Amino acid sequence: MSVGSFRNLLALPHLLVGSKMADMPSIYWSLNYWPVEADR
Amino acid sequence: MFMWPMGDRELIIDLLEALTSARVTHAFTIPGGVRNDVPYRFKEKALSQIGYLEKRLEEYEDIFYNNPLLRQRTEDVGILTKENAISLGVTGSVLRASGVPYDIRRAEPYDIYTEIDFKVQHMNKGDSFARSYVPFLDMQEACHILTQLLDKMPESGEVRAKLQPNPKGPAGESYKRVESGRGALGYYIVMMALQNLIE
Protein backbone atom coordinates (compact mmCIF):
# COMPACT_ATOMS: atom_id res chain seq x y z
CA MET A 1 0.00 0.00 0.00
CA SER A 2 1.27 3.48 -0.87
CA VAL A 3 -0.17 6.66 0.67
CA GLY A 4 0.37 10.37 0.00
CA SER A 5 1.21 11.38 3.59
CA PHE A 6 4.16 9.00 3.78
CA ARG A 7 5.52 9.92 0.36
CA ASN A 8 5.25 13.67 0.94
CA LEU A 9 6.94 13.47 4.34
CA LEU A 10 10.08 12.27 2.55
CA ALA A 11 10.47 15.83 1.22
CA LEU A 12 10.68 17.29 4.73
CA PRO A 13 14.45 16.82 5.32
CA HIS A 14 15.12 18.34 1.92
CA LEU A 15 12.93 21.39 2.66
CA LEU A 16 14.30 22.01 6.14
CA VAL A 17 17.96 22.22 5.14
CA GLY A 18 18.92 25.90 5.18
CA SER A 19 15.52 27.04 6.49
CA LYS A 20 14.98 29.17 9.58
CA MET A 21 13.70 27.48 12.73
CA ALA A 22 10.72 29.86 12.70
CA ASP A 23 9.74 28.59 9.25
CA MET A 24 9.61 24.93 10.34
CA PRO A 25 5.91 24.91 11.35
CA SER A 26 4.70 26.40 8.08
CA ILE A 27 6.86 23.99 6.06
CA TYR A 28 5.69 20.99 8.06
CA TRP A 29 1.99 21.87 7.91
CA SER A 30 2.16 22.77 4.22
CA LEU A 31 2.99 19.12 3.47
CA ASN A 32 -0.53 18.23 4.64
CA TYR A 33 0.85 15.32 6.64
CA TRP A 34 -1.66 13.09 8.41
CA PRO A 35 0.01 10.56 10.74
CA VAL A 36 -2.96 8.19 10.71
CA GLU A 37 -2.68 7.84 6.94
CA ALA A 38 1.10 7.51 6.94
CA ASP A 39 0.83 4.72 9.52
CA ARG A 40 -1.24 2.62 7.13
CA MET B 1 -11.64 31.44 11.77
CA PHE B 2 -10.80 27.81 12.51
CA MET B 3 -14.15 27.15 14.18
CA TRP B 4 -16.18 28.22 11.13
CA PRO B 5 -15.13 25.25 8.97
CA MET B 6 -16.02 22.98 11.90
CA GLY B 7 -19.60 24.26 11.61
CA ASP B 8 -19.63 23.82 7.83
CA ARG B 9 -18.19 20.34 8.27
CA GLU B 10 -21.44 19.42 10.00
CA LEU B 11 -23.33 19.98 6.74
CA ILE B 12 -21.18 17.36 5.01
CA ILE B 13 -21.45 15.01 7.98
CA ASP B 14 -25.25 15.42 7.95
CA LEU B 15 -25.31 14.31 4.31
CA LEU B 16 -23.07 11.34 5.04
CA GLU B 17 -25.19 10.41 8.05
CA ALA B 18 -28.35 10.49 5.90
CA LEU B 19 -26.59 8.30 3.33
CA THR B 20 -24.78 5.80 5.54
CA SER B 21 -26.30 6.18 9.04
CA ALA B 22 -22.82 6.93 10.37
CA ARG B 23 -21.10 10.26 10.92
CA VAL B 24 -17.44 9.39 10.48
CA THR B 25 -16.72 5.72 9.72
CA HIS B 26 -19.12 4.89 6.91
CA ALA B 27 -18.19 1.47 5.43
CA PHE B 28 -20.50 2.40 2.56
CA THR B 29 -18.43 1.43 -0.49
CA ILE B 30 -18.16 -2.35 -0.60
CA PRO B 31 -17.09 -4.94 -3.19
CA GLY B 32 -19.79 -4.95 -5.83
CA GLY B 33 -21.03 -1.39 -5.30
CA VAL B 34 -22.43 0.50 -2.32
CA ARG B 35 -24.37 -0.70 0.70
CA ASN B 36 -27.68 1.11 0.15
CA ASP B 37 -29.48 3.43 -2.24
CA VAL B 38 -29.52 7.17 -1.51
CA PRO B 39 -32.36 8.46 0.71
CA TYR B 40 -35.37 10.44 -0.56
CA ARG B 41 -34.48 13.92 -1.92
CA PHE B 42 -30.78 13.38 -1.24
CA LYS B 43 -29.72 14.95 -4.53
CA GLU B 44 -31.57 18.23 -3.87
CA LYS B 45 -30.21 18.46 -0.34
CA ALA B 46 -26.65 17.73 -1.49
CA LEU B 47 -26.80 20.33 -4.28
CA SER B 48 -28.04 22.92 -1.81
CA GLN B 49 -25.22 22.16 0.66
CA ILE B 50 -22.61 22.30 -2.12
CA GLY B 51 -23.91 25.70 -3.24
CA TYR B 52 -23.60 26.98 0.31
CA LEU B 53 -20.06 25.58 0.69
CA GLU B 54 -18.94 27.22 -2.56
CA LYS B 55 -19.97 30.61 -1.16
CA ARG B 56 -18.28 29.87 2.15
CA LEU B 57 -15.03 28.93 0.38
CA GLU B 58 -14.94 32.40 -1.16
CA GLU B 59 -15.22 33.90 2.32
CA TYR B 60 -12.46 31.63 3.62
CA GLU B 61 -10.21 32.74 0.78
CA ASP B 62 -10.67 36.38 1.74
CA ILE B 63 -10.20 35.81 5.44
CA PHE B 64 -7.46 33.18 5.50
CA TYR B 65 -5.51 33.03 2.24
CA ASN B 66 -5.53 36.81 1.67
CA ASN B 67 -4.41 37.42 5.24
CA PRO B 68 -1.11 39.40 5.11
CA LEU B 69 0.23 37.57 8.17
CA LEU B 70 -0.27 34.15 6.61
CA ARG B 71 1.27 35.29 3.34
CA GLN B 72 4.26 36.79 5.09
CA ARG B 73 4.96 33.52 6.93
CA THR B 74 4.41 31.18 3.96
CA GLU B 75 5.42 32.95 0.74
CA ASP B 76 8.97 32.15 -0.47
CA VAL B 77 9.35 29.71 2.44
CA GLY B 78 10.39 26.06 1.92
CA ILE B 79 10.57 26.17 -1.86
CA LEU B 80 10.36 22.77 -3.55
CA THR B 81 11.36 23.06 -7.19
CA LYS B 82 9.65 21.10 -9.94
CA GLU B 83 12.74 18.93 -10.50
CA ASN B 84 13.14 18.15 -6.78
CA ALA B 85 9.43 17.41 -6.39
CA ILE B 86 9.63 14.82 -9.17
CA SER B 87 12.90 13.28 -7.97
CA LEU B 88 11.70 13.05 -4.35
CA GLY B 89 8.51 11.32 -5.49
CA VAL B 90 6.05 13.64 -3.76
CA THR B 91 2.42 13.39 -4.78
CA GLY B 92 -0.94 15.14 -4.78
CA SER B 93 -1.22 18.82 -3.88
CA VAL B 94 2.46 18.99 -2.85
CA LEU B 95 3.49 17.92 -6.35
CA ARG B 96 0.95 20.19 -8.05
CA ALA B 97 2.10 23.19 -5.96
CA SER B 98 5.55 22.79 -7.54
CA GLY B 99 4.25 23.31 -11.05
CA VAL B 100 3.53 19.71 -12.05
CA PRO B 101 -0.13 19.44 -13.14
CA TYR B 102 -0.34 15.72 -12.40
CA ASP B 103 -3.55 14.14 -11.20
CA ILE B 104 -4.20 10.39 -11.46
CA ARG B 105 -7.84 11.09 -12.28
CA ARG B 106 -6.56 12.72 -15.48
CA ALA B 107 -3.37 10.70 -16.12
CA GLU B 108 -4.91 7.26 -15.53
CA PRO B 109 -8.70 7.85 -15.54
CA TYR B 110 -10.79 5.36 -13.59
CA ASP B 111 -14.49 4.99 -12.75
CA ILE B 112 -16.50 7.87 -14.24
CA TYR B 113 -13.69 10.44 -14.42
CA THR B 114 -13.48 10.14 -18.23
CA GLU B 115 -16.94 11.75 -18.37
CA ILE B 116 -16.30 14.51 -15.83
CA ASP B 117 -15.07 17.97 -16.77
CA PHE B 118 -12.51 19.21 -14.23
CA LYS B 119 -9.28 21.19 -14.07
CA VAL B 120 -6.06 19.89 -12.55
CA GLN B 121 -5.37 22.76 -10.17
CA HIS B 122 -1.71 23.66 -9.78
CA MET B 123 0.65 26.51 -8.91
CA ASN B 124 4.24 27.13 -9.97
CA LYS B 125 6.10 28.59 -7.02
CA GLY B 126 6.46 25.48 -4.86
CA ASP B 127 6.56 27.41 -1.57
CA SER B 128 4.56 26.78 1.62
CA PHE B 129 1.82 29.13 0.46
CA ALA B 130 1.36 27.27 -2.81
CA ARG B 131 1.23 23.94 -0.95
CA SER B 132 -1.53 25.28 1.32
CA TYR B 133 -3.44 27.02 -1.48
CA VAL B 134 -3.63 24.09 -3.92
CA PRO B 135 -5.83 22.01 -1.51
CA PHE B 136 -8.16 25.02 -1.34
CA LEU B 137 -8.35 25.10 -5.16
CA ASP B 138 -8.98 21.33 -5.03
CA MET B 139 -11.93 21.91 -2.68
CA GLN B 140 -13.45 24.39 -5.13
CA GLU B 141 -12.92 21.92 -7.96
CA ALA B 142 -14.45 19.13 -5.82
CA CYS B 143 -17.67 21.16 -5.53
CA HIS B 144 -17.73 21.45 -9.33
CA ILE B 145 -17.13 17.69 -9.72
CA LEU B 146 -19.78 16.76 -7.13
CA THR B 147 -22.39 18.89 -8.91
CA GLN B 148 -21.69 17.03 -12.16
CA LEU B 149 -21.78 13.64 -10.43
CA LEU B 150 -25.14 14.37 -8.81
CA ASP B 151 -26.53 15.44 -12.19
CA LYS B 152 -25.32 12.18 -13.74
CA MET B 153 -26.67 9.99 -10.94
CA PRO B 154 -29.33 7.60 -12.35
CA GLU B 155 -32.84 7.94 -10.95
CA SER B 156 -33.20 4.18 -10.44
CA GLY B 157 -31.28 0.90 -10.76
CA GLU B 158 -29.21 -1.60 -8.81
CA VAL B 159 -26.60 -0.19 -6.43
CA ARG B 160 -24.88 -3.43 -5.54
CA ALA B 161 -23.90 -6.59 -7.42
CA LYS B 162 -23.95 -9.81 -5.43
CA LEU B 163 -20.51 -11.38 -5.14
CA GLN B 164 -19.38 -14.76 -3.91
CA PRO B 165 -17.70 -14.73 -0.49
CA ASN B 166 -13.90 -15.22 -0.43
CA PRO B 167 -13.12 -14.15 -4.01
CA LYS B 168 -10.82 -16.54 -5.86
CA GLY B 169 -9.14 -16.18 -9.22
CA PRO B 170 -6.09 -17.06 -11.28
CA ALA B 171 -2.64 -16.47 -9.80
CA GLY B 172 -1.22 -13.05 -10.50
CA GLU B 173 -0.50 -9.61 -9.15
CA SER B 174 -1.90 -6.17 -9.70
CA TYR B 175 -1.16 -2.58 -8.68
CA LYS B 176 -3.90 0.03 -8.87
CA ARG B 177 -3.92 3.57 -7.59
CA VAL B 178 -6.40 6.42 -7.25
CA GLU B 179 -6.13 10.12 -6.45
CA SER B 180 -6.97 10.63 -2.77
CA GLY B 181 -7.11 13.79 -0.67
CA ARG B 182 -3.36 13.66 -0.09
CA GLY B 183 -2.24 12.28 -3.44
CA ALA B 184 -1.71 8.86 -4.89
CA LEU B 185 -3.28 6.03 -2.90
CA GLY B 186 -2.06 2.71 -4.29
CA TYR B 187 -2.74 -0.93 -3.50
CA TYR B 188 -0.60 -3.87 -4.56
CA ILE B 189 -2.58 -7.10 -4.63
CA VAL B 190 -1.22 -10.63 -4.97
CA MET B 191 -3.42 -13.63 -5.74
CA MET B 192 -1.99 -17.09 -5.14
CA ALA B 193 -3.25 -20.00 -7.20
CA LEU B 194 -6.39 -21.59 -5.73
CA GLN B 195 -6.06 -19.57 -2.54
CA ASN B 196 -7.79 -16.55 -1.17
CA LEU B 197 -6.71 -12.99 -1.80
CA ILE B 198 -3.69 -12.60 0.46
CA GLU B 199 -3.11 -8.85 0.58
A10 in contact with chain B, both atoms CB, cutoff 8 A? yes
| Contact: A8, B77; criterion CB under 8 Å | no
> CA of B128 to nearest chain A CA: how many angstroms apart?
5
Bridge partners of residue B190, in order along the sequence: B173
- The HSE-up count of residue B34 (CA atoms within 13 Å, CB side) is 10
Confirm or reject contact between A40 and chain B (CB < 8 A).
no
What letter does residue B199 receive in the DSSP assignment? Answer: -
Quick check: B199 pLDDT over 70? no
Lowest mean pLDDT among A12-16, B27-31, B176-180, B190-194: B190-194
The answer to whether residue B2 scores a pLDDT higher than 90 is no
Q: Does A29 touch chain B (CB under 8 A)?
A: yes
**B21 versus B198: which is more confidently predicted?**
B21
Q: Over pLDDT 90: what percentage of chain A? A: 70
Tell me the HSE value of B153 on the side-chain side, using a 13 A CA sphere. Answer: 17
Do the Cβ atoms of B19 and B28 come closer than 8 Å? yes
Q: In this predicted complex, what is the ipTM?
A: 0.93
Which residue in the set B77, B85, B184 is minimally distant from A4, CB to CB?
B184
Tell me the sheet residues that pair with B42. Answer: none
Write the residue in A7, A19, A30 that is nearest to B89 by C-beta.
A7
CB A14 to CB B94 under 8 A?
no
> What are the pLDDT digits (tens) for B73-131?
999 999 999 999 999 999 999 999 999 999 999 999 999 999 999 999 999 999 999 99
The three-state (H, E, C) secondary structure of B69-106, written as one string: HHHHHHCCCCCCCHHHHHHHCCCCHHHHCCCCCCCHHH
Residues of B in contact with A13 (CB under 8 A): none
The structure's pTM equals 0.90
- Give the pLDDT confidence score for residue B194 in this predicted structure: 60
Q: Is B98 exposed, middle or buried (0-12, 13-18, 19+ CB in 10 A)?
A: buried
